[in-house]
Amino acid sequence: MRIRRTCLTLVPLFMVLLGAVRAQPVDATGDGALAPLLTSLSTADYSEKRDLIKQLSALHDPRVRAVLQSLLDGSLYARTADGRVFLTTEDGDSLNLTDALTSAAAGRAPAADFSLIGVNNQLRKALRVALAQFDLSSPDRAKRLSAVAEMLRGLDEESIAVLRQSMRVEKDAAVRREMQVGLALVDLDGSDVDRRLAAVGEVSQSLDPNVFNRLSALLQPKADGGFSEPDPRVRAAAQAALRGIERRRSFYAGIQTLLYGLSQGSVLVLAAVGLAITFGVMGVINMAHGELMMLGAYTTYVVQLLMPNHIGASILVALPCAFAVSGLVGVAIERGIVRRLYGRPLETLLATFGVSLILQQAVRDIFTANNRPVVTPEWLAGSLQINEVLSLTYNRIYIIGFTLALFLLLLLVLRKTRLGLEVRAVSQNRAMAKAMGVRTEWVDAMTFGLGSGIAGVAGVALSQLTNVGPNLGQSYIVDSFMVVVFGGVGNLWGTELGGNALGVVNKLLEPYSGAVLAKIFVLIFLILFIQRRPRGLFPQKGRAADG
């Protein structure tokens, strides 16, 4: 019986591999079996659905894969009128339909005429296992790899047989390795000592947590004084393998912490770099800086409202929009308030604090006090799996790259453009610049606008990481000032390095002290540092420092 079933499993697998079958209906008999199962799926309760999933995957019909995937994604709908099942994609209030049975596009229809075929956690698990068996024969190498990993998590006789069979036709070395590890784990349970020993050697290079747990289990002492692995040679080999795995694990964990630190540092830099211009270069203490970031985040929200069907591109559209919105508000603040208060830092601080409250209340009145949902586009979600223990989430990778790009762009503007030249001239010696014919008032407004615009762009990035609400700015303003002061006022490089250093220190501390204490330690460290070096990491030198 078992053999028969295994064979049945494998026939279609081979056919797919040989390219004999494409994702098309095979024959009339498969069709006959699929249709009633699909119809009953639309009315079944959870326990019935579980059986139906089993029956569906036993059909080994390539169309079933799409159905199961769609069920897992929550996009499988049944038409209320006749119970016909469709794979769908959302399109506003309508659904784009693909007939589950014929795999043919079936047009577009209002979502109200359809009901979702729901799943719960148990079903999702069953679906993943079922899909993994399909994916084992996928032409996509990455899919096969993850399918093997999925199967390794719960091996039973049936899946072992499937693995053994697929290994014979598997060409790719990496996928083969994974399969071998899986089969070696099975061998560890065998009675043959040599095979067990060979199996330990086989798995010793794998970082899969299953392997680690399995090997550790071998060394567990039992109640009667012996070990769960009776043979001392195997135990010694397992011990050695564990040590090796442990070493590589802590190495990768170190890399991961470092990258987490850099990503948190990048967020700090992002929040601070606009301030580095207004506070660092112009010397204006702008307490409304956080609110300018908040405006950028809200701009993202509005852009997404305007283009609900292009969420992927919305972030890219939001970047220039946020720069414009925050930049214009910044120029308005400068022209309206700050310019009248140059040379009076205390009044500037209070006035801009007032502006920050006005902006917060304005946002509350327009968008309500509740947080606004900003959707994360697909290309920003998920993570890059480098190996079993090291994975990096895409949003963090993008943040690191984005911050770096923004920083370099800003440097370029300040070093290579006419505006940059004038900004530097004015900040170094206002009177002399004026005498040389620089319109200092205009330069002030543009500089403030540039710094504010950058804050808006930072807000777009923050909208992907944190909650978009009226208080968004407040939670970053202290951090921003901290970074600028730590890095050295007036020094962009100081801001970049200072922010990243603080991020890394924070993340290094977090695993030991917890998030709350880590933050406190960083603040204490900063206070002590500023005591010793009041001008920060990279103090400005020369005449500019006296101004």
Partner 1 sequence: MKMGKLLNWALPAAALSLSSGAALAADTIKVGVLHSLSGTMAISETTLKDTVLMMIDEQNKKGGVLGKKLEAVVVDPASNWPLFAEKAAELLEKDKVSVVFGCWTSVSRKSVLPVFEKDNGLLFYPVQYEGEESSKNVIYTGAAPNQQAIPAVDYLMKDVGVKRWVLEGTDYVYPRTTNKILAAYLQLKGVAPEDIIVNYTPFGFSDWTSEVSKIKAFGAAGKKTAVVSTINGDANVPFYKELGNQKISAEDTPVVAFSVGEEELSGLDTKPLVGHLAAWNYFMSIKSPQNTEWISKWHAFTKNPKRTFNDPMEATVIGFQLWVKAVQKAGTVDTEKVIATLPGLEVPNLTGGTAKVLPNHHITKPVYIGEIKGDGQFDVVWKTAKEIPGDAWSDFLPGSKDIEADWVTLKCGNYNTKTKVCSGQNFK
Question: Which residues are near partner 1 by CB under 8 A?
Answer: 74, 116, 118, 120-122, 124-125, 128, 209-210, 212-214, 217, 253, 256-257, 260, 263-264, 267, 369-373, 375-376, 381-383, 391, 393-396, 465-467, 469, 471, 475, 507, 510-511, 514-516, 519
Q: Provide φ and ψ at 90, rounded to 5°.
A: -75, 145
| Mode of pairing for the β-strands spanning 94-99 and 383-385 | unpaired
Q: How far is the CB of 180 from partner 1 (least distance, A)?
A: 20
Distance CA 99, CA 108 (A): 11
Q: How far is the CB of 385 from partner 1 (least distance, A)?
A: 8
Q: How far is the CB of 510 from partner 1 (least distance, A)?
A: 5
3-state secondary structure 196-226: HHHHHHHHCCCCCHHHHHHHHHHCCECCCCC
Q: How far is the CB of 398 from partner 1 (least distance, A)?
A: 12
Distance CA 4, CA 10 (A): 10
Residue 114, helix vs strand vs coil: strand
Measured from the CB atom, is 393 or 428 closer to partner 1? Answer: 393
Q: Look-up: residue for tokens 């990243």? A: 500
Please report the sign of the dihedral spanned by the C-alpha atoms of residue 388, residue 390, residue 396, residue 398.
Answer: negative
182's tokens:
């899986």
Residue 309, helix vs strand vs coil: coil
Please report the sign of the dihedral spanned by the C-alpha atoms of residue 118, residue 122, residue 125, residue 131.
Answer: negative
Distance CA 233, CA 106 (A): 63
Q: Provide φ and ψ at 141, rounded to 5°.
A: -60, -45
**Closest residue by Cα to residue 348 from 448, 230, 450:** 448
Q: How far is the CB of 212 from partner 1 (least distance, A)?
A: 8
Q: How far is the CB of 515 from partner 1 (least distance, A)?
A: 5
Measured from the CB atom, is 111 or 160 closer to partner 1? Answer: 111
Q: How far is the CB of 106 from partner 1 (least distance, A)?
A: 22
CB neighbour list of residue 166: distance below 8 Å, 6 or more residues apart: 13, 136, 137, 179
Q: Look-up: residue for tokens 């899946």? A: 159
Measured from the CB atom, is 205 or 383 closer to partner 1? Answer: 383
Q: How far is the CB of 264 from partner 1 (least distance, A)?
A: 5
Beta-ladder partners of 94:
91, 110
Measured from the CB atom, is 80 or 383 closer to partner 1? Answer: 383
Distance CA 134, CA 166 (A): 11
Measured from the CB atom, is 449 or 503 closer to partner 1? Answer: 503
Assess contact for 511 and 501: CB atoms under 8 A. Answer: no
Distance CA 422, CA 447 (A): 10
For residue 227, what is the DSSP state?
B
Measured from the CB atom, is 52 or 465 closer to partner 1? Answer: 465
Measured from the CB atom, is 520 or 528 closer to partner 1? Answer: 520
How many residues does the structure list for the chain?
Answer: 547
CB neighbour list of residue 192: distance below 8 Å, 6 or more residues apart: none
Distance CA 473, CA 271 (A): 9
Q: How far is the CB of 332 from partner 1 (least distance, A)?
A: 27
446's tokens:
């543009």
Measured from the CB atom, is 74 or 110 closer to partner 1? Answer: 74
Q: How far is the CB of 469 from partner 1 (least distance, A)?
A: 7
Distance CA 290, CA 298 (A): 12
Q: How far is the CB of 373 from partner 1 (least distance, A)?
A: 5
Q: Look-up: residue for tokens 């208060």? A: 341
Measured from the CB atom, is 188 or 351 closer to partner 1? Answer: 188
Measured from the CB atom, is 124 or 310 closer to partner 1? Answer: 124
Measured from the CB atom, is 189 or 441 closer to partner 1? Answer: 189
Residue 66, helix vs strand vs coil: helix
Q: How far is the CB of 256 from partner 1 (least distance, A)?
A: 7
Q: How far is the CB of 110 from partner 1 (least distance, A)?
A: 16
Helix axis angle, 28-41 to 46-59, nearest 10°: 170
Measured from the CB atom, is 244 or 547 closer to partner 1? Answer: 244
The neighbour count for residue 336, using CB atoms within 10 Å, is 11
Assess contact for 217 and 206: CB atoms under 8 A. Answer: no
Q: How far is the CB of 374 from partner 1 (least distance, A)?
A: 8
Measured from the CB atom, is 210 or 491 closer to partner 1? Answer: 210
Measured from the CB atom, is 368 or 417 closer to partner 1? Answer: 368
C-alpha angle 185-188-218 in degrees, rounded to nearest 5: 105
